[in-house]
Structure 1
Amino acid sequence: MFVHGFLDDQYVWDRLIGELTTPGIECVTLDLAGSGDRTQASGPFTYDRFADEVGAVADALGKPFVIVGQSLGSAVAELVAAQRPDRALGLVLVTPVPLAGTRQPDEVMDAFRSLGGDGDAQRAVRTQLSAALAEADLDRLVVSGTRMRPETVREAADCWNNGHPAGEQPSRYAGPVRTVEGRDQVKNVMAAASTIYESLVFTQATVSGERSYLEWRATAFGGTQIDGVTILTKNADGQIVRAAIHHRPLGVVHRFSAELGRRLNGVLDAEYFHRG
Structure 2
Amino acid sequence: MNPTHPTQPSLVFIHGFLDGADVWDDLVRHLGDQTTGALRVDLSGMGARAGEPGPYSLERFAADVATQVRALSRPVVLVGHSMGSQIAELVAQRLDEQVRGLVLLTPVPLRGAGLPDDAMRPFRALGSNPAAQRELRRNLSVTLDGAQLERLGQLGDRVDAAAVGTFVDLWNNGHPSGAEASRYRDPVLIVRGGGDAFVTAEVISSGVTPRFEAPTVTSIEHAGHWPHVEQPEALARIVGAFLANLGAASHLAGMPVAPQGWTRAFEHKSADAFADTFDPNVTLEASVLAKPVVGREQVKTVMAAASKIYEAISFTHEARHELRDYLEWKVQAFGGEQMRGITVLTKNAQGKIIHVAIHHRPLGGALKFSAELARVLQGQVDTSFFYRGA
Q: Tell me the TM-score normalised to structure 1 length.
A: 0.68
Aligned position for 1:16:
27
Letter in 2 for 1:20: L
Map 1:125-274 → 2, pairs under 5 A? 125-177=136-188, 228-229=201-202, 247-249=218-220, 265-266=341-342, 267=359
Deviations 1:173-207 (A, max 9, x none): 121249xxxxxxxxxxxxxxxxxxxxxxxxx9xxx
3-state secondary structure, aligned to 1:115: helix
CA shift, 1:21, in A, is 3.3
Task: Give me the CA root mean square deviation.
Answer: 3.6
Counterpart Cα distance in 2 of 1:24 and 1:232: 29
- Contact kept, 8 Å, 2:58 with 2:170, in 1: the verdict is yes
Q: Unaligned stretches of 5+ in structure 1?
A: 179-203, 205-212, 216-227, 234-239, 271-276
Counterpart Cα distance in 2 of 1:153 and 1:88: 30
Structure 1: which 4+ aligned runs deviate by more than 2 Å?
21-25, 228-233, 242-248, 250-255, 263-270
- Contact kept, 8 Å, 2:110 with 2:175, in 1: the verdict is yes
Structure number with the higher helix fraction is 2
Alpha carbons of structure 1 residues 63 and 264: separation in structure 2 relative to 1, 3 Å = closer
CA shift, 1:152, in A, is 1.0
Alpha carbons of structure 1 residues 104 and 232: separation in structure 2 relative to 1, 3 Å = same
CA shift, 1:231, in A, is 5.9
Counterpart Cα distance in 1 of 2:204 and 2:153: 31
- The 10-residue stretch of structure 1 (143-152 or 17-26) with the greater mean CA deviation from structure 2: 17-26
Counterpart Cα distance in 2 of 1:24 and 1:118: 35
Q: Tell me the TM-score normalised to structure 2 length.
A: 0.49
CA shift, 1:230, in A, is 6.8
Deviations 1:108-147 (A, max 9, x none): 0111011003111011100011121122111011111011
CA shift, 1:268, in A, is 5.0
3-state secondary structure, aligned to 1:29: strand
Aligned position for 2:43:
32
Counterpart Cα distance in 2 of 1:19 and 1:177: 21
- Contact kept, 8 Å, 1:230 with 1:245, in 2: the verdict is no
3-state secondary structure, aligned to 2:32: coil
Q: Unaligned stretches of 5+ in structure 2?
A: 1-11, 190-196, 222-233, 242-329, 331-336, 343-358, 363-390
- Contact kept, 8 Å, 2:62 with 2:90, in 1: the verdict is yes
- Contact kept, 8 Å, 1:10 with 1:31, in 2: the verdict is yes
In the alignment, does 2:122 pair up with 1:122?
Answer: no
Structure with the greater alpha carbon radius of gyration = 2
Deviations 1:73-105 (A, max 9, x none): 000001101111111011000000000001111
Aligned position for 2:59:
48
CA shift, 1:247, in A, is 5.0
